[in-house]
């Protein structure tokens, strides 16, 4: 038991159960569990007695402290997170821009060159002038202005696609170089992270 002050300022007591509880703890402990960013939301207040159970919050803090103390682990985790986010953002932006016909992959560009080169060869053969059947050359200056899109991480367009793309990118990073099997320390990984 220890003295505890809630976020609103009231003084109460708190307790911390040991990991060696005499009863079997069911898993999962709570249905519809959530991810915690600080461990504070894992504190459980008993409204009848007014005691705060700090067990899960303490376990979260200990796990975080152990992970952060390992410099190699922290560095690798940071590299993995930034690599995953950068690859996912590139894929999401490419997907959004491709839907608007504003982006082509390298493969699409190379395939379009197969049609472009013969068209360039025929420019001098077609002598219809500026006003051809397909429109005037001066029409290119009359295009409607395209609305600027917000492609930042917080935009609704990106957020709607980010989770699915992150899953796809993460699964790709887990694969071995043969592209069929997952990395299992007996084969070569696709990513050093």
The 10s digit of each residue's pLDDT in 155-168 is: 999 999 999 999 99
> pLDDT tier at 184 (50, 70, 90 boundaries)?
confident
Rounded CA separation 37/39 (Å): 6
Say what the pTM is: 0.61
Which has the closest alpha carbon to 190: 59, 44, 83, 81?
Answer: 83
> pLDDT tier at 71 (50, 70, 90 boundaries)?
very high
Q: Which residues contact 102 (CB under 8 A, 6 or more apart)?
A: 146
Which has the closest alpha carbon to 151: 97, 112, 103?
Answer: 97
Which helix or strand (DSSP H or E) is residue 19 part of? none
pLDDT at 124: 64
Residue 131 CB: number of other CB atoms within 10 A? Answer: 11
Backbone dihedral region for residue 4 (phi beyond 0: left; psi -120 to 50: alpha; all else: beta): beta
Q: Lowest-pLDDT range, 37-46, 75-84, 180-189? A: 180-189
Rounded CA separation 189/179 (Å): 10
pLDDT at 123 over 80: no
Quick one: DSSP state of residue 47? T
pLDDT at 57 over 60: yes
Residues in the chain: 193
> pLDDT tier at 26 (50, 70, 90 boundaries)?
confident
Peptide bond into 28 cis (omega under 30): yes
Are 151 and 96 in contact, with CB atoms under 8 Å apart?
A: yes
More confident residue, 157 or 135: 157
Chain centre distance of CA 102? 23
Give phi and psi for 13, each to the nearest 5: -115, 160
């Amino acid at each position: 038991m220890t003295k505890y002050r809630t976020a609103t300022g009231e003084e109460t007591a708190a307790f911390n159960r040991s990991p060696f509880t005499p009863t079997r703890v069911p898993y999962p402990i709570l249905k519809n569990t959530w991810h915690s960013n600080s461990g504070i939301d894992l504190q459980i207040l008993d409204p009848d007695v007014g005691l705060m159970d700090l067990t899960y919050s303490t376990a979260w803090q200990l796990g975080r402290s152990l992970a952060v103390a390992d410099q190699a682990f922290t560095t690798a985790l940071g590299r993995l997170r930034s690599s995953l986010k950068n690859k996912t953002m590139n894929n999401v932006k490419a997907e959004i821009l491709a839907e608007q016909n504003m982006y082509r992959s390298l493969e699409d560009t190379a395939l379009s060159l197969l049609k472009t080169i013969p068209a360039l060869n025929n420019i001098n053969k077609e002598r219809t002038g500026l006003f051809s059947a397909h429109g005037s050359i001066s029409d290119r200056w009359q295009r409607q202005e395209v609305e600027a899109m917000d492609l930042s991480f917080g935009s609704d367009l990106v957020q709607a696609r980010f989770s699915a793309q992150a899953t796809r990118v993460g699964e790709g990073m887990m694969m071995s170089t043969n592209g069929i099997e997952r990395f299992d320390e007996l084969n070569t990984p696709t990513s050093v992270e």
